[in-house]
Amino acid sequence: MTKIVFDTEALLIFYLGEKGADQVKTYLEKIQGKEIEGLLNIVNLTELYYILYRKSPKAAEEKEANLRAYGIGIVPVLDSKLWKEAGKIKGEHAMSIADAFAVATAKVEKAKLVTGRDEELNKLKLNVDLIRIR
C-alpha cells in the first residue's frame, strides 16, 4: 500500500482553502477510503494546531478533529530512531524542526512526503520522494 506523510504546509493549504487544496483533499479522501496510508508526525500536528489556534481556537479544534476523521495516523516520537533522524536532518540542513520531523518520518516510514512549496527541500538531497502541492 502506498504510504504518504504530510508536512504542515500541505495541510494548511487544505484548511485555509489555498491553491492546491483540492489536491490535498484527494489524498485525504484516499486515506479515508483506505486506498493509501496517511501519516502525520505529532510535531507537525502541533505546528498545524498552533498556526490555526492563532487564527481561531475553535477552528484549531475543529480542523484537528476533522483531520483525524479522515483516518490519518498520528506518529508519536517515542523511539530514538525517529527523533535522532530528525536531529541529523536538522543538523545538516537549514530547515524548521517541524520540516525535519516530517522528512524524518517519511524516511523512517519509507513513505512519500506531501509538501507545499518549501523551497529548502528543493535544494537538499534528503533521499525522500516528494509530492508537491502547488
| In 2-111, alpha helices (H) | 8-15, 21-32, 42-55, 57-69, 80-92, 97-109
Question: What average pLDDT score do residues 70-84 get?
Answer: 94
Q: Is 134 helix (H, G, I), strand (E, B) or coil?
A: coil
| Burial grade of 119 (CB within 10 A; 0-12, 13-18, 19 or more) | exposed
Rg (CA), the chain: 14
Top CATH class, 3-132: alpha beta
What is the mean pLDDT of the segment spanning 69-78? 96
**What does the DSSP 8-state code read for residue 35?**
S
Of 34 and 133, the one with more pLDDT: 34
Which of the four pLDDT bands, split at 50, 70 and 90, describes residue 122?
low
**Which residue is associated with the grid cell 479515508?**
32
**Position with higher pLDDT, 119 vs 49:** 49
* Torsion angle defined by CA atoms of residues 125, 126, 128 and 130, in that order, rounded to the nearest 10 degrees: -70
**Region 82-108 average pLDDT:** 93
More confident residue, 45 or 79: 45
Predicted TM-score of the model (pTM): 0.92
